[in-house]
Amino acid sequence: MPLHHAVLALLSAKPAHGYELKSSFEQAVGEQWGGLNIGHLYQILDRLARDGLIESQRQRQPVKPDRVVHRLTPAGRAELYRWLAEPSVRSRGYRDDFFLKLMAAVQKADRDMLAGVLSRQRAHLLKELRSLTEAQASAAESSIVSLLITAAELHVRADIGVVDAAESSLWAEPPAGSRTPPAAAVADGLAIVPEAG
């Protein structure tokens, strides 16, 4: 689980308490990753302690409430090294809301609807690309944050390529499970199949 391992990596540098870990994580990866919910972080810390990968010690403070400082165990360090030694494998499948919208538009057999879905997605992606370009200009101080933004830009460009591919390949595709329409129905591009009813 990547966040669990990221916490192990932060603790490999030095022992830390929860809010310190949250701040270190967000500083290390920047805004593009998104914030780390403190409640989720404490769940991660509990799991790592239960698995024997970290140990935690309560420290009294004179004015503030006690804080719990976490440190890596030898088993935690071994788990971090094991994780770092493996390639990152993509989760099975490519679940993306955009593909469900494409499927719905093709099933509806409405050329204008499909064109609208593609047009809105392209506009959104171009806006996102401009935003990433601006973010890249302000990320010069951190090579990790800069690399994360570059990765995001590459993903957005690939998504634009998917929109291009959808425009060129979906116009003449009949909805799944439908009978092949007569040639006259396909002449206009998108295969229009009358709805059963």
At 157-166, the pLDDT tens digits run: 999 999 999 8
Residue 90 lies inside a defined structural domain of this protein? no
Domain co-membership, 107 together with 80:
no
pTM reported for the whole predicted model: 0.62
Provide the pLDDT for residue 121. Answer: 93
Pair 80, 120 in one domain = no
What pLDDT shows up at residue 51? Answer: 96
29 and 55 in a single domain? The answer is: yes
Give pLDDT, residue 69.
Answer: 93
Q: What is the pLDDT of residue 65?
A: 82
164 CA to centre of own chain:
22
50 in any annotated domain: yes
pLDDT of residue 176: 47
pLDDT at 102: 82
Distance CA(85)–CA(94), nearest Å, equals: 25
Q: Do 142 and 77 lie in a common domain?
A: no
At residue 69, the 3 state secondary structure works out as strand
Our separate counts of H helices and E strands in the chain read 8, 3
70 and 118 share a domain? Answer: no
| Domain of 52, in residue numbers | 2-84
Euclidean distance between CA atoms 140 and 153, whole angstroms: 15
Residue 54 φ then ψ, to 5°: -135, 160
Q: Which residue has the tokens 């165990």?
A: 73
Mean pLDDT score of the chain, rounded to an integer?
Answer: 80
On whether both 155 and 180 belong to a single domain, the answer is: yes
Can you give the pLDDT at residue 32? Answer: 65
103 and 180 both lie in a single domain: yes
Strand order in the sheet with 16-17: 16-17, 67-72, 54-59
**Number of compact structural domains in the chain:** 2
Q: Are residues 181 and 104 in the same domain?
A: yes
- Are 77 and 104 part of one and the same domain? no
- 116 and 174 in a single domain? The answer is yes
| 105 and 180, same domain (yes or no) | yes
Q: What pLDDT, on the 0 to 100 scale, is given for residue 36? A: 81
CATH number at residue 44: 1.10.10.10
- The verdict on residue 101 lying in a domain is yes
Per-residue pLDDT at 161: 93
Q: Which residues of the chain have pLDDT under 70?
A: 1, 32, 90-95, 140, 171-197
Q: Give me the pLDDT at residue 74, please.
A: 96
Let me know whether 78 and 136 are in one domain: no
Position 172 in a domain? yes
By C-alpha distance, which of 117, 124, 154, 163 is closest to 32? 154
- Domain final position from 39, 55, 84: 84
CA distances to 87, 120, 168, 186, 196 from 109, rounded to whole Å, are 42, 18, 16, 11, 13
